[in-house]
A = this chain, B = another copy of it.
Amino acid sequence: MAEPRISSSIDGKLAEEFAVPSHVEEVKEKMTAFAAFHAAAGRRVVLITSGGTKVPLESRTVRFLDNFSSGRRGAASAEYFMDSGYAVVFLHRHRSLYPYARMFLSMNMLDALQFRDLDGAPGSSGEVLVDQRVLPNIGRVLKRYHEVKEGKLLLPVEFSTLSEYLHLLKAAAQALSTIGAKAMFYLAAAVSDFYIPASEMPEHKIQSSNGPLQLSMKMVPKILSPLVKDWAPQAFVTSFKLETDASILLDKARRALDTYRHQAVVANVLDSRRGYVVVVTPDAQAELLLSEDDVKNEVEIEERIVANLTSAHDKFVSEQAG
């Protein structure tokens, strides 16, 4: 009977030390309606978290701690989940990569646009076209983006700070718990392990004239624990583990599964994360690897990760039903 208290103490800490975003209840209602709508239509729903969290050092924030993440994995995975028939709640860092639109990030859009004067219309503003030699996939991507919009398959929710992330994740978990085992969590965001409690944060910009900076940061509560135990106990939960040191990775992934008792950990190393991951589950581990041919054909590892997890989710749903 001691365990529920650990989780409730995280609830308490969340309320006390992390500012609650003003729109959290409104977003929760939207997510609940979204889950109900798609479950009624026979669809599964995945919550994807994506991008890094911002940890402010001052309450009027000039400086912050951040985690390296472009949001590429989350954005790409969202597309493959929708291709597999899922509806997606996309809880992402403001301005991180976005499904479909991610193709524009590495370029200047103006370099892909052309001006065309209209015949016989002097003084008209003319047309602006996308140069399909620069963006050869634009037609296909735009079509799929419109299908997804019409099908209302994607619900975007934004966060910037760690506080926003934590509260919105809790709201999302409670919203998706209403559809039980049909919900999947795909926690790909790069979440800070450290923070400064609101009560210990200076209001104004830290002055460099005060000399070198000593920062003392507390550990962020392990949110996976109440998520799995209390907030969405029937859902299929996948967490991510990113390390720079490959030698400790699998051990850490296995230990996370033992501790939190969820369904899968996607383990990856910073340098090789785009071509190799290991999906660790309680009774197996699957290595997913892109071959040279895959890379040449622009296959993305996220397609493989999503295929692996949707099939594990299938099995999970049948077992729960049976």
Within 8 A of B (CB), among A1-57: 54, 57
State whether A205 touches B63 (Cβ < 8 A): no
Least Cβ distance of A144 to chain B in Å? 10
User: Of B62, B65, B208, which one neighbours A242 at CB under 8 angstroms?
Assistant: B62
Contact of A217 with B by CB under 8 A: yes
**13 contacting pairs across A/B (C-beta < 8 A):** A62-B67, A62-B68, A63-B68, A65-B66, A66-B66, A100-B110, A110-B142, A113-B142, A128-B142, A205-B245, A205-B270, A212-B218, A215-B216
A262 to B212, CA, bound (A): 26
Are B101 and A109 in touch, CB under 8 angstroms?
yes
Copies in the complex: 2
Contact check, A108 vs B98: say whether CB atoms are below 8 A apart.
yes
A211 to chain B, nearest CB (A): 7
Number of A residues whose C-beta is below 8 Å from B? 62
Q: Which residues of B contact A203 (CB under 8 A)?
A: 244
Within A173-222, the residues touching B (CB, 8 Å) are: 190, 192-194, 203-206, 208, 211-220
Are B208 and A193 in touch, CB under 8 angstroms?
A: yes
Q: With A65-B63, A208-B219 in contact, do A129 and B126 touch (Cβ < 8 Å)?
A: no
Minimum distance in angstroms from A206 CB to a CB of chain B: 8
Interface string of A100-123 (1 = CB under 8 A from B): 110011001110010100000000
Contact B66 A63 (CB under 8 A): yes
- A214-B216 in contact (CB<8A): yes
Given contacts A128-B130, A129-B129, A205-B245, 17 further A-B pairs with CB under 8 A are A64-B65, A65-B66, A104-B104, A104-B109, A110-B145, A113-B130, A115-B143, A125-B132, A127-B129, A128-B132, A205-B242, A205-B270, A208-B219, A212-B217, A213-B217, A214-B215, A214-B217
